[in-house]
Amino acid sequence: MKNQFRPEKYRDHTICANDGEVVGHIRVKVSGILWAPKGAKVWYGLSLDRFSTLMQEHGKQQKK
């Protein structure tokens, strides 16, 4: 097949505080969620199963 777009393997988001200062970065992948604090050279990750459990146990319920 010709002329196709490849699906994204991940999506990065920059997280900023109320004053606009960068706090860190979140990378959402098919296999899990990664977090890198500002200026860090490493990522910290959770599998989607672990992330789901963590959010249900400790997250605050939100409206969509």
User: How does pLDDT run across 22-41, given as a tens digit for each residue?
Assistant: 999 999 998 999 999 999 99
CB 33 within 8 A of CB 48: yes
Map residue 56 onto helix, strand or coil.
helix
pLDDT at residue 49 in the model: 94
pLDDT(1) > 70: no
Q: Is residue 4 part of a domain?
A: no
Instruction: Flag whether 29 is in a domain.
Output: yes
Chain Cα centroid distance, residue 15: 10
Structure confidence at residue 20 as a pLDDT band (50, 70, 90): very high
Domain span at residue 36?
10-58
Question: What pLDDT is stored for residue 13 in this prediction?
Answer: 96
Domain count, the chain: 1
